[in-house]
Structure 1
Amino acid sequence: MNIKQTVDQTHIRSINQRVILDKIYSDEPISRAELARELFISKSAMTENIAALLNIGIIQEFGEGVSMSSGGRKPILLKFNKIFQYIIAIELNFEDPIFVLANLGGEIINKFTVNISNDSPYATRLELVLNAVKLLLSSNNLTSKDLAIIAISCPGIYDSVNRTFFANSNFANWNMGDFSRQMEEQFSTSVLVVNDVNAAAVGEFTSGAGKYSKDLVYVSGGLGLGAGIILNGEIYEGSTNCAGEIANEITIHNDMVRARGMSFNNLGGSTNINGLTARIRAEAPQGTREAFAALGKSVEKIGFKDIIRVWRDGDPFLKECVDDIAVIIGGCISNIVCLLNCDLAIFGGEYTVFHSQMLPIINRIVQENAFTPVKVVPALLEKNSGIYGLFALSKEVIFDRLCNQGHERT
Structure 2
Amino acid sequence: MKYAVDQTHIRSINQRIILDKIYSKQLISRAELARELRISKAAVTENIASLLSKGIIQEVGTGVSMASGGRKPILLKFSNTYQYIISIELKFEDPLFVLADLDGKILNKITMNIPGSSSYPARLELVLNAVNFLISSSNLTHSDLAIIAISCPGIYNPESRSFLANANFANWNMGDLSQQLESHFETSVLVSNDVNAAALGEFTYGAGKASKDLVYISGGLGLGAGLILNGSIYGGTSNSAGEIAHEITIENDIKQARKYAFNNLGGSTNINALTTRVKQDSPKKTEDAFAALGKTLDTFNFKDLVKVWQSGDPFLTQCIEDISVIIGGTISNIVCLLNCDLVIFGGEYSVFNSQMLPNINRIVKENAFMPIDVVPAELEENSGIYGLFALSRDFIFNKLCQSDLSK
Fold shared, TM-score > 0.5 on shorter chain: yes
Paired with 1:189 and 1:270, the residues of 2 have a C-alpha distance of: 41
Partner of 1:200: 198
CA contact (8 A) 2:149 2:388 kept: yes
**251-260 vs 68-77, greater mean Cα deviation:** 251-260
Match of 1:162 in 2: 160
- Which deviations, in whole Å up to 9, do the C-alpha atoms of 1:338-387 show, x marking residues without a partner? 11110000000000111011000000000110111110000000000000
C-alpha separation in 1, matches of 2:219 and 2:254: 33
- 1:256 & 1:352 partners in 2: Cα distance? 29
Residue by residue, what CA displacement relative to the aligned partner does 1:219-267 show, whole Å, maximum 9, x if unpaired? 0000000000000000001111110001111111668995996796221
The aligned counterpart of 1:16 is: 14
Deviation at 1:305, TM superposition (A): 0.5
Give the match for residue 341 of structure 2: 343
1:108-127 equivalences under 5 Å are 108-127=106-125
Counterpart mapping for 1:215-230 below 5 A = 215-230=213-228
Match of 2:284 in 1: 286
| Secondary structure, counterpart of 2:405 in structure 1 | coil
Q: Which runs of 5+ in 1 are unaligned?
A: none
Contact preservation (8 Å) 2:12, 2:404: no
Equivalent residue runs for 1:139-150 within 5 Å: 139-150=137-148
Other-structure match for 1:407: 405
Amino acid at match of 1:91: E
- 1:310 paired residue number: 308
SS at match of 1:184: helix
Aligned AA (1:229): L
Matched, 1:321 2:319: yes
Show the counterpart of 2:76: 78
Rounded to whole Å, the distance in 1 between the matches of 2:3 and 2:250 is 57
User: Which of 271, 276, 279 is 1:273 aligned to?
Assistant: 271
Amino acid at match of 1:25: Y
What corresponds to 2:243 in structure 1?
A: 245
Give the CA RMSD over aligned residues.
1.8
Q: Please report how far the alpha carbon of residue 407 of structure 1 lies from its aligned counterpart in structure 2 after TM superposition.
A: 2.4
Measure how far apart 1:299 and its partner are: 1.2
Q: Distance in 2 between matches of 1:162 and 1:312?
A: 45
Aligned with 1:107 (options 105, 108, 118): 105
CA contact (8 A) 1:257 1:263 kept: no
State the identity %: 70
The reply on whether 1:236 has 2:234 as its aligned counterpart is yes
Q: Which is further off, 180-189 or 249-258?
A: 249-258
Q: 2:332 aligns with which of 331, 334, 347?
A: 334
Counterpart of 2:366? 368
Amino acid at match of 1:275: A
39, 42, 58: which one aligns with 1:41: 39
Residue pair 2:8, 2:404 contacting (<8 A) in 1 also: no
Alpha-carbon distance in 1 for matches of 2:309, 2:319: 10
Q: Distance in 2 between matches of 1:346 and 1:396?
A: 23
Q: Distance between the aligned counterparts of 1:254 and 1:312, measured in 2?
A: 38
2:350 is aligned to 352
2:342 counterpart letter in structure 1: L
CA distance in structure 2 between the partners assigned to 1:343 and 1:316 by the alignment: 35
* Displacement of 1:203: 0.2
4+ residue runs over 4 A deviation? 4-7, 253-264
Counterpart secondary structure, 1:109: strand
CA contact (8 A) 2:90 2:150 kept: yes
Residue in 2 that maps onto 1:135: 133
Alpha-carbon spacing, 1:285–1:254, altered in 2? closer, same or farther (3 Å): closer
Q: Using the alignment, how far apart are the partners of 1:208 and 1:137 within structure 2?
A: 27
User: Which letter maps to 2:8?
Assistant: T
Q: What does the per-residue CA deviation read over 1:185-243, in whole Å, with 9 as the maximum and x for residues that have no partner?
A: 11111100000000000000000000000000000000000000000000001111110
Structure 1 residue 381 and structure 2 residue 379: aligned? yes
AA aligned to 1:168 is: N
TM-score w.r.t. length of structure 1: 0.96
Distance change (3 Å), C-alpha of 1:172 and 1:294:
same
- Give secondary structure in 2 for the equivalent of 1:151: strand
Q: Give the one of 173, 178, 181 matched to 1:180.
A: 178
Q: Distance in 1 between matches of 2:97 and 2:287?
A: 35
Post-superposition CA distance 1:293-317 (Å, at most 9, x none): 0100001111010011111111111
Output the amino acid matched with 1:66: V
Please say if residues 252 and 264 of structure 1, whose CA atoms lie closer than 8 Å, have aligned partners that are also in contact. no
Tell me the CA shift for residue 8 of structure 1: 1.2
Distance change (3 Å), C-alpha of 1:140 and 1:326: same
Q: 1:337 to 1:53 in 2, by over 3 A?
A: same
How far the C-alpha of 1:72 sits from its partner, in A, is 1.4
**CA shift digits 1:130-182 (9 cap, x unpaired):** 00000000111111100000000000111111111011111011011111111
Is contact 2:268-2:323 (8 Å) kept?
yes
**Contact 1:344 / 1:374 at 8 angstroms: preserved in 2?**
yes
TM-score (norm 2): 0.97
1:56-107 alpha-carbon deviations (Å, 9 max, x no partner): 0000001110111111111110000000000000000000100000000110
Alpha-carbon distance between aligned partners in 1 of 2:274 and 2:261, rounded to the nearest angstrom = 21
**Structure 1 stretch 153-162 or stretch 254-263: which is displaced more?**
254-263
Other-structure match for 1:297: 295
Report the AA paired with residue 79 of structure 2: N
Q: What residue identity is the alignment partner of 1:283?
A: D
Q: Report the counterpart of residue 54 of structure 1 in structure 2.
A: 52
Residue 93 of structure 2 is matched in structure 1 by 95
